[in-house]
Structure 1
């Protein structure tokens, strides 16, 4: 699963979370439940954390 700062594709589900517009590919939407977007200094960027047991 990846994370990109990009325009949504036609098939993406577009929602607003905490005033931030997010596009989610419907194929991975079930895997995105209970995830948090965080900044990781070691990775020097944004990461998705949580829900490791349901990762793809």
Structure 2
């Protein structure tokens, strides 16, 4: 799984999250439930974190 800052592909699902347009590959969309995108100051980069409130 990767993260990119580019234009969405034709097969991506595009959603607005906190006023930010996010494109999600439909092949990995089921695996994104319960994840939160955050900024890690130690690595100076974006990370995906498991949401503590997710049920699964």
Place the TM-score, normalised by the shorter chain, in its bin.
0.7 to 0.9
Q: TM-score, normalised by structure 2?
A: 0.82
Secondary structure, aligned partner of 1:7: coil
Larger helix fraction of residues: 1
Runs of 4+ aligned residues of structure 1 deviating over 3 Å after TM superposition are none
Q: TM-score, normalised by structure 1?
A: 0.82
Number of residue-to-residue matches in the alignment: 51
- Report which structure shows greater RCO (CA 8 Å, sep ≥6): 1
Larger strand fraction of residues: 2
